[in-house]
Structure 1
Amino acid sequence: MIRNYLKIAWRNLWKNKGYSLLNIGGLAIGMAAAILILLMVRQERSMDMFHHKKDRLYIAGNQSEFDGETATWFATPKPLAPALKEEFPEIVHTARYTSNSDFLLRSKDRKNTVRSAFIDPEFLEMFDFPLLEGDPDHLFDHPDNIVLTASTAKKLFGTDRQLAGKTVKIDSTDYATVTGVLRDLPENTQFRFEAILPWSYMEKLGWSDDFWGNNSVATFIELAPAASPGQVGEKIRDITIRRSNHEESNEVILHGIPDWWLRSRYENGKIAGGRIEMVRLFTLIACFILFIACINFMNLSTARSEKRAREVGVRKVSGAGRHALIGQFLGESVLMAFLSGILATGIVILGLPYFNTLLSHPLHPGIDDPSLWVFLAGIILATGILAGAYPAFFLSSFNPARVLKGSLKGNRGNFNPRKILVITQFTIAIVLIVSTIVIHRQIAYAQDRENGYDRNNLIYVMEQGDIPKRAHLIKDELLRRNIAQSVSRAGSPVTEAWSNGWGMEWKGKKEGDKTIFDRYYGDEDLVATLGLTLVEGRDFDLSEFPTDSTAMLLNEAAVKAMGFKNPIGQIVKDNDVDWHVVGVVKDFIIRSPYDPIVPMIIGGSGGWFNALHIRFNPSLNTATALSLTREVFEKYNPDYPFFYHFVDEAYARKFEDSRRKGKLAALFAFLTIFISCLGLFGLAAYMAENRTKEIGVRKVLGASVSSIAGLLSKEFILLVLAACAIAFPIAYWAMSRFLQDFDYRISLGWDVFAIAGTGAVVLALATVSFQAVRAATANPVKSLKTE
């Protein structure tokens, strides 16, 4: 019986090649899109879920009240981890982690700049990062030990085996002994490092501290199996307050590692979501795209019901039960889904490299992973059943007596299921089109925002090796040789904020004021180099004003926050240093372009520096300026490669996440409208075929081509307009919620909906018109000669 069903199914596919191709192609495209999205969702949900102890692992965070609301952040003070381990027996292990350091590592004849992390040794007992080589109990017996990842080991030594005891030089100062090699980190982890060093080495460098007010590292905790997270959380809540002798008011909280990636956004002290919202949205989009592809199958199958009606009638008269017919038709749809699945797999393989360019974490689905094939088989089976269920029940319900008498009539009522399905398709498509337009407009709106400094012709170089002690020599030569117009050191790149706080003191500060200020540092010519705008006062100038090592600039937001009417000459105390204000600069964007400007204090050369900004001489072309700058750095910092960053490119990277979302939305909108139009094309072709004789009669009676084309097109255009009426309120609600996440945002105008609606109508009209005009221009003699 099954063999007979398969034979009949194959004959039907082969007999109706055009419709079969539309069905298989539409299903394949929908399945491919759904598979790619669900692979992304699968990876997002698997982030750091491979650690065996994940249910007992937590990251510590801080909470404190600002302006009546509770703020939450997950940078913690360095002494927190050892204090927790010492004080609470329910805590088995603690580990500090920070990975902001790029070290130049050199073996005998190779060198590489490597992203390195400082960790407490217990880190590798808590998290599952397998060792390829090394003794796990003695990896960090000494401060000068280092563990490399396999790819880093190969870059430095040409192999990742038998490296125990090998030596690497760290920067230009220290030597470290390789004690282990880790397998390369998987894509589904938040941790990103190429080498790890013990915390004792950080202490040796003088980079560690016991200051409870410096929140700068991640603190991880492993609880005992029997420990209650809620009880432990209550016990540790006041540890910072107690250990800092009430100088700090932050409360410590615990956040479970399984929720770390997906649910990390807090509002007023409570978990309010995070990436889980994006995961749910994309899961919904995948279901919508697959559903739209299934709608095409349903529409074409039910539209062609009259073609199979006599077959159903004969089978029923011959004794076939309804369940057998349902099984046959479901089998046919599963077979079609199987063929579509094969085609979809090919599309996924070909499309994966492009799709990965739209993701922050590229997908690498292993073909040797059995769960992947179970996942694909599940999608194929579910698609086949979903697409075939309605046609199977519809076709199997025919009355054999009516069918064999030829009295079966198609459903031409105002609300037949095919119309509802077409409206559903275009409703989803129009919502996605509106979303795409809104996202792209929001990105453009933020890009056009005045950023407050001049990005053109400006680069920065991170201070490594000998740059800090020879910065003045580098600056002098760049200026003397007219390579640069101006040069200035800074605490961080102008596109990044690395420090903030609320402990500053100034005259007139209100009691309990916990306004957060961004903290930045710069030396001479900072304003000129960055292209900032001075509102009042002056730039840093040590040659004329020797006390400018403790000079300070404020941005306009800081002046407003501090309530200064005459800011020049005011004293601001920060980190036990009295800074005197010498100038006020116009607000400039250092954080997200979508957020409001944060008050900022800019300390002078008495601060710390990590980046050297260089504004090139505008009379030099960029290639020449870079080549000459490279010569200067190779002269004064010969052991390190010359790495530079264009500020305009670094600023553009602030929009990468939004751009990815915009491209994904555009891709899904295109696929949705394409699949919808594909189904509409097939449906219009079949309806034109069914009305061939009617069209012939109309033409004989004098109907014009345009009137006949309009007659065939009108019904579909009305369906698209109905979809617009449903889609617009949904899209307005969804995009209003989306824009609420941005303080600096566009407003939703009527033109967005007009563009989306017009586009959908034009596309539908173009799709249907081809078939309508083709039917209207056919020779009526051929269609009527059998009458």
Structure 2
Amino acid sequence: MLKNYMKLGFRNLIKHKASSFINISGLALAVGCCLMVFEYAYWAMHQDAFNSKIDHLFVVERVTDKNGKQQYHGDAPSPLGPALKNDFPQVKNVARLSYSSVIIKQKDNVFRDKITFVDDDFYKMFDYPVKWGDKQHFTDKDGIVLTSELSEKLFGHLNAVGNSLVITFNVDGRTIAENFIVKGVFSKYPANASFSFSALIPHSRMVSLGIDKAGDWREAANITFIEIADVKTLSSIRSQDKKYLKLYNAAHPDDQLTSFHYQALKTMNFHSYKVARNYFNTMEPIGLIMLVVIGVSILLMVYFNYINITIASASNRLKEISVRKVMGSSRKQIIFQFIIENMIICTIAVFLGLFLAEVFFFPWFSSIAGFELGPGFFLNFRTWIAALLLIFVSALSGALYPSFYISALDTVSMMKGNTKMGSNNRFRKALLGIQFFLTFISISTAIAFIQETKQIKHKPWGYQPESTVVVGLDNGSSYQTFKEELKRSKSIVAVTGSVQPVGNYVKEISIKNEGKTEQVKSISVLPGFINQLGMTVTEGRDFSEKQLTDQKNAVIVNRAFLKMMNWPTAIGKNILYNHHNYSVIGQVNDFHYESFEYEVAPMLLMSATPKEVKFVYIKSSSGLFSNVHEEIKSIWHNLYPNLPFDFYDQDQVFNGYFNGFSTISTVLAVTSLLMTVISISGVFGLALIILGKRMKEISVRKILGADIIHIIYLIYKEFLFALTTAIMVGIPLSFFLTDSMFNQLSTNSEFSFLPIGLAVIALISTTLISVSWHIFKANQANLSKYLKQE
């Protein structure tokens, strides 16, 4: 019996080629896309899952009060970790991570990188797979442990254990070169690791080098991990950590903490976007929610499409079913036949979807996400569970309604052709309306995001970053020599410097005015920096080399600072910072010194000396900018042959932020295209079936004088109500979703009707095109062929 059902199923598959192709291709695309989305969701929700102790690991953060709201800070006081371990028996292990920019030298291979100082407990807490070496020696004082990427960069594919290298540290303006022996190499980084490092060195070396002063509460570790034996005892730690707050606050009178926060590592990636000085992978929940909603929407849309076409196709088989019932088939057998037929279609579609996920969706998403998604996809147990579920759910959703409905119909009525299944089917029209609605939301959201991405890329920065190269310095004492050599070049217009880079990181300080304490951003720059970068001084003056008091007593503020202090003018106002009085000598327009996702905060510009400079800003002639990199590099290597040359273009500092928007735009554009194609194919298939059923009626109408306009109206009214309803419901919801999304991403965008209008035009035009083809074919058809049909 099953063999017979299979034969009938394949016969109907081949007989109805158009609807079979639409169903299989639509389901395959949806399955491939959804598997990619849900694999990413699984990856995101299982960060650091390779660690066996993940449920017991927590990150210690500082918490301050910022305008009445909690502000989390990723760094914690260096003595806090050891103190927690000593005072609380439930704290089994503590690992502090402190990053340091160094110069690594191995023979002629010299480059700059970040190494990480770690406590010995790190190797007890984390399960990073080891490629070479013995963990017992990882904590040797003269040892260093490398990642596989850094090992290959230094030693190729050879076993690096036992090799030596020289690392040069910059400690308070002094350069210290130390020899290290490679004790181990980790295997390739797990894709779901939430934080990264290049090389690990024992924390004890940080103390011996003088970078960290043991027991000093003014020192900080970038990340502090604690391992708690029983998670339930965490509350007792929280209730007893107030003594550490007192120690920290006593050492930081201008940076008072309100509490310490203990964040579970397994959920850190969903928390880190709220953390200042964050060193973890950041993932805003809105991003994951958007992707999951997209995946579910595509799957639902294809299901509705599939059910619609299945219902419409089933209505053409009423006589076949009635004959089978007359010949003795039971209702149960007819239902089972429909299920088997749908099972064949869904099995083909799901396996084709698995293939598309492996060869197209995963590689495409990995290329835009920046990490490999889906390795070992076919070996995952969850992949095959998902595949089986999709097959059964798809088959049952497409088969149950028509099979139960048709099998219950009167046999005589079906034989006579009196049964008109789906002629006024509200269920089918509701599914069609939802399909149009999802397509409309998808198109309008994608257009809005693409429009927003273009607007963000053209937002004014508040200064002129073009034709400016930024070179990093280890020691400010080399600034003057480097500057003089640069000024000899005809292609270089001006040279200046700063202590902090504009666009990457600025420090946050506490200042006082009239007894009120405020948290503001700060950057130290040389005289002429403001003018060279094209910032606008709206009041007062710039720093001057001729004014010796500027270096010690003068500051410049931005407009946001003026607004925060509620001052009509800033000139002449006094500010207390670090127990020293500063006088405001100038005001500049707001400029973006951090990513555009942050509002421009109050800023203090302070005067720096040449010896403090860490970043050199080199302005070149715009016409000669393409060649200036090699020229600067040549000057650098002539002066400092043993130092790596690190540079970037100032107009690219926000590329990470822009690329994030471009990635979202690309995903939404592909999604809207995919949903539009599915919608068109669904309408195309539905129109084909509807016209097939009504060709005799259309032939009679044409003989009686009906023109093409009447025929067009006759067919389009099948879709008109669903289309109109979808647009009317979709317009306000599209506005709400877009506005909510932009608020989450802090874009401060104004509403535009353009995406809504374009989405309406796109949806109507695609529907017209997909139906018009069938109407054209019907108008050209031989009427006698259909009039002869019973």
Flag whether TM exceeds 0.5 (same fold): yes
Task: Confirm whether residue 403 of structure 1 aligns to residue 401 of structure 2.
Answer: no
Q: Is the 8 A contact 1:79 1:211 kept in 2?
A: yes
Could you say what secondary structure the match of 1:261 adopts?
A: helix
User: Could you tell me how far apart the structure 2 residues matched to 1:579 and 1:645 are?
Assistant: 33
1:239 corresponds in structure 2 to 244
Q: Distance in 2 between matches of 1:676 and 1:215?
A: 56
TM-aligned CA deviation for residue 581 of structure 1: 3.7
Aligned to 1:71: 71
CA displacement, residues 353-403 of structure 1 (integer Å, 9 cap, x when unaligned): 322233254414324633234444443443333343434433433333432
402-411 or 254-263: bigger deviation = 402-411
Equivalent residue for 2:766? Answer: 763
2:673 maps to amino acid: F
CA distance in 2, matches of 1:200, 1:156: 25
SS of residue paired to 2:439:
helix
Pairing of 1:179-258 with structure 2 (within 5 A)? 179-209=183-213, 212=217, 217-225=222-230, 227-237=232-242, 239-245=244-250, 247=253, 248-258=256-266
* Structure-1 separation of matches of 2:543 and 2:621: 21
Displacement of 1:119 in angstroms is 2.0
Paired residue secondary structure (1:175) = strand
Q: CA deviation at 1:551?
A: 4.0
The aligned counterpart of 2:163 is 166
2:501 is equivalent to residue 482 of structure 1:
no
2:431 aligns to what?
421
Q: Which residue of 1 aligns with 2:667?
A: 664
What residue identity is the alignment partner of 2:472? M
Residue 675 of structure 1 aligns to which amino acid in structure 2? I
Over residues 23-68 of structure 1, what are the superposed CA-to-partner deviations in whole Å (9 max), with x where a residue is unaligned? 1111111112212211221211121122111111111122233333
CA contact (8 A) 2:111 2:643 kept: no
Partner Cα separation in structure 2 for residue 328 and residue 261 of structure 1: 49
Q: Distance in 2 between matches of 1:551 and 1:176?
A: 45
Q: How does 1:142-541 map to 2 (within 5 A)?
A: 142=141, 144-159=142-157, 161=159, 163-171=160-168, 173-209=177-213, 212=217, 217-225=222-230, 227-237=232-242, 239-245=244-250, 247=253, 248-264=256-272, 275-348=284-357, 349-367=359-377, 369-371=379-381, 372-413=383-424, 416-464=426-474, 468-501=476-509, 503-506=510-513, 508-510=514-516, 513=517, 515-541=518-544
| Contact 2:445/2:755, CA 8 A, preserved across alignment | no
Cα 1:559–1:166, aligned 2, differ >3 Å: closer, same or farther?
Answer: same
Residues 411 and 652 of structure 1: CA distance in aligned 2, closer, same or farther (over 3 Å):
same
User: What is the rounded CA distance, in whole Å, between the counterparts of 1:177 and 1:137 in structure 2?
Assistant: 14
Unaligned runs of 5+ in 2: 169-174, 276-281
Rounded Cα–Cα distance in structure 1 between residues aligned with 2:271 and 2:66: 22
Identity %: 25
Residues 569-608 of structure 1 aligned to structure 2 (within 5 Å): 570-605=573-608, 608=612
Match of 2:655 among 652, 655, 658: 652
1:726-777 Cα shifts (integer Å, max 9, x gaps): 2223223322322333555223344442332222111111111111122122
Does 2:115 match 1:116? yes
- 1-structure distance, mates of 2:218, 2:691: 76
Shift of 1:181: 0.8
Instruction: Tell me by how many angstroms 1:455 deviates.
Output: 1.4
Secondary structure of the structure 2 residue equivalent to 1:137: helix
Deviates more, 1:764-773 or 1:304-313: 304-313
How far did 1:186 drift?
Answer: 1.3
Displacement of 1:160: 5.1
Q: C-alpha displacement at 1:714, in angstroms?
A: 3.2
CA separation of 1:121/1:528 partners in 2, compared to 1, >3 Å: closer, same or farther? farther
**1:571–1:578 CA contact under 8 A, matched in 2:** yes
CA-to-aligned-CA distance 1:242-280 (integer Å, 9 cap, x gap): 45438433310111112111344669xxxxx97344323
CA distance 1:202–1:397, shift in 2 (3 Å): farther
Which string of whole-angstrom CA distances, capped at 9 and with x for unpartnered residues, describes residues 309-339 of structure 1?
Answer: 2333344444444344333322222221221
Partner of 2:684: 681
Distance 2:776 2:368 in 1: 40
Deviation at 1:214, TM superposition (A): 6.4
Equivalent-residue separation in structure 2 for 1:710 and 1:381 (angstroms): 39
Change (3 A) 1:226 1:662: closer
Tell me what 2:61 maps to.
61
- Corresponding residue for 2:279? none
TM-score norm. by structure 1 comes to 0.91
Given that 2:305 and 2:679 are in contact with CA atoms closer than 8 Å, whether structure 1 keeps it comes out as: yes
Q: What CA distance in whole angstroms lies between the structure 1 residues aligned with 2:34 and 2:414?
A: 38
1:325–1:396 CA contact under 8 A, matched in 2: yes
1:197–1:354 distance in 2 versus 1, CA, 3 Å = same
The answer to which of 674-683 and 314-323 deviates more is: 314-323
Q: Which amino acid aligns with 2:776?
A: V
Unaligned runs of 5+ in 1: 268-272
| SS class of match (2:192) | coil
Q: What residue number does 1:713 align with? A: 716
Letter matched to residue 764 of structure 2: V
Deviation at 1:184, TM superposition (A): 1.8
What's the secondary structure of 1:768's corresponding residue? helix
Q: Normalising by structure 2, what TM-score? A: 0.91
Shift of 1:115: 4.0
The range that moved more, 384-393 or 281-290, is 384-393
* Cα distance change on mapping 1:237 and 1:277 into 2, 3 Å: farther
User: Would the alpha carbon gap of residues 356 and 392 (structure 1) be closer, same or farther in structure 2, given more than 3 Å must change?
Assistant: farther
After superposition, the Cα gap between the structure-2 partners of 1:633 and 1:355, relative to the gap in structure 1 and judged at 3 Å, is same
After superposition, the Cα gap between the structure-2 partners of 1:238 and 1:362, relative to the gap in structure 1 and judged at 3 Å, is farther
SS of residue paired to 1:690: helix
The residue type paired with residue 699 of structure 2 is G
* Equivalent position amino acid for 1:42 in 2: Y
Contact 1:461–1:643 under 8 Å retained in 2 = yes
Contact 1:114–1:195 (8 Å) recurs in 2: no
Change (3 A) 1:586 1:696: same
CA displacement 1:137-182 (0-9 Å, x = unmatched): 331231x421101232122112353x33210122482221111111
8 Å CA contact 1:310, 1:403 repeated in 2: yes
Q: Is the 8 A contact 1:236 1:253 kept in 2?
A: no
Q: Matched residues in 2 for 1:656 and 1:416: separation?
A: 45
Q: CA deviation at 1:183?
A: 1.2
Per the alignment, residue 41 of structure 1 pairs with 41
For 2:476 and 2:332, how far apart are their aligned partners in 1? 81
Q: Is the 8 A contact 1:445 1:746 kept in 2?
A: no
Question: Structure 1 residues 447 and 457 mapped into 2: Cα distance closer, same or farther (>3 Å)?
Answer: same
Does the aligned pair in 2 maintain the 1:550–1:580 contact within 8 Å?
A: yes
Aligned to 1:270: none
CA–CA distance in structure 1, aligned partners of residues 789 and 70 of structure 2: 81
1:730 matches 2:733: yes
